[in-house]
């Protein structure tokens, strides 16, 4: 039987197609949402505006000494408690409170107890559990961390924290891969080939063969995804514009330079008390120390710097070639 010859480019294209299909199928296995995404992006939100400005800020953000109180939703009086919550806090304040409790507005009905900060900071930066500056990252232009224990992500530029927020990572039987990965390709709106109503806004792939990526999707207050990294809509939009993706060789057969490094770390206490509820008794209970983050960074730093150097060289060579004047 004759077997048709397939060149390297065709092989790689088939590989990308299969990987993308795997990603879509994995995300399809998440708790299904058949309706069109109703949560809209607020381009004027404080969170989005501050995130866009943070990249050019010179000062390191400061964490305040916040305290928290409990807002309880009794089972038999949930509706009246929710009405009181809606009346007491504005829409922007509710957004911030829910984010601190790893919820979005669609899933606020899941709340039984919310940790309420004494002062509302719509940027979330006052409440950061991540260090505001990490000297070990001073030479790393961009990096993203996803913490399993506290279900939160952080974004650093040259060691400075520029943004953090809530996430919902892989559930117990479909956990997100730990370790160092890199941003690969991105798509503003990924649509499932299985169900055209399945929408994944601002998707950024970070593991091509496993189909892992971050994108907007429900935040129910616990790890619920099928290995992907869920974000709030505003956060997903910011991350989509901020991240650097891979550079492929001519023809797309091989990777020439990797994108922004991403590190997923730690373990979630399955079945235990949700970590953010501990803030009510101890405002520092979710904090990640510089020493802890250094321990996560150190084993990966040589590889991160190697890939960053290679990317800079590739970008520089590409720019130089684009400026070359063809011989007459």
31's tokens: 């708790």
196's tokens: 């055209």
Closest-CA residue to 119 (of 282, 283, 273): 283
Closest-CA residue to 19 (of 236, 259, 190): 190
Spatial separation of the C-alpha atoms in residues 227 and 27, rounded to whole Å: 8
Phi/psi of residue 135, each to 5°?
A: -60, -35
Closest-CA residue to 156 (of 267, 219, 239): 239
Please state the pTM of the whole predicted model: 0.83
Spatial separation of the C-alpha atoms in residues 51 and 53, rounded to whole Å: 5
Edge to edge, the sheet with strand 160-166 lists: 160-166, 152-157, 143-147, 261-265, 179-182
Rounded to 10 degrees, the C-alpha dihedral 147/223/236/208 comes to: 80
| pLDDT digit string (tens) for the chain, length 328 residues | 433 444 544 444 544 444 445 444 455 444 443 333 444 444 444 444 444 454 444 466 677 789 999 999 999 999 999 999 999 999 999 999 999 999 999 999 999 999 999 999 999 999 999 999 999 999 999 999 999 999 999 999 999 999 999 999 999 999 999 999 999 999 999 864 435 676 889 999 999 889 899 999 999 999 999 899 999 999 999 999 999 999 999 888 899 999 999 999 999 999 999 999 999 999 999 999 999 999 999 999 999 999 999 999 999 998 888 887 565 5
């Amino acid at each position: 039987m004759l077997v048709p010859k397939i060149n390297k480019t065709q092989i790689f294209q088939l590989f990308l197609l299969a990987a993308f299909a795997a990603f879509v199928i994995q995300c399809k296995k998440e708790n299904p949402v058949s309706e069109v995404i109703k949560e809209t992006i607020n381009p004027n939100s404080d969170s989005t505006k501050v995130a866009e400005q943070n990249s050019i800020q010179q000062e390191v953000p400061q964490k305040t000494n916040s305290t928290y109180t409990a807002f309880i939703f009794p089972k038999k009086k949930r509706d009246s408690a929710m009405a009181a919550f809606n009346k007491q806090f504005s829409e922007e304040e509710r957004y911030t409170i829910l984010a601190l409790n790893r919820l979005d507005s669609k899933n606020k009905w899941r709340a039984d107890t919310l940790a309420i900060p004494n002062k509302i900071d719509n940027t979330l930066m006052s409440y950061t559990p991540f260090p505001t500056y990490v000297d070990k990252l001073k030479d790393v232009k961009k990096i993203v961390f996803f913490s399993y224990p506290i279900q939160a992500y952080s974004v650093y530029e040259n060691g400075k924290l520029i943004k953090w927020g809530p996430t919902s990572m892989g559930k117990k039987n479909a956990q997100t891969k730990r370790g160092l990965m890199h941003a690969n390709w991105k798509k503003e709106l990924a649509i499932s080939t299985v169900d055209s109503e399945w929408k994944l806004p601002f998707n950024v792939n970070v593991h091509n063969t496993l189909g892992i990526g971050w994108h907007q999707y429900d935040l129910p207050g616990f790890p619920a995804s099928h290995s992907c990294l869920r974000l709030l809509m505003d956060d997903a939009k910011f991350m989509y514009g901020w991240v650097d993706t891979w550079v492929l060789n001519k023809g797309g057969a091989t990777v020439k330079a990797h994108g922004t490094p991403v590190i997923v770390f730690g373990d979630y206490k399955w079945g235990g008390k949700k970590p953010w509820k501990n803030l009510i008794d101890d405002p520092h209970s979710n904090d990640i120390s510089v020493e802890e983050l250094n321990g996560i960074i150190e084993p990966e730093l040589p590889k991160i710097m190697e890939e960053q150097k290679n990317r800079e060289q590739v970008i520089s060579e590409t720019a130089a070639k684009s400026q070359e004047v063809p011989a007459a």
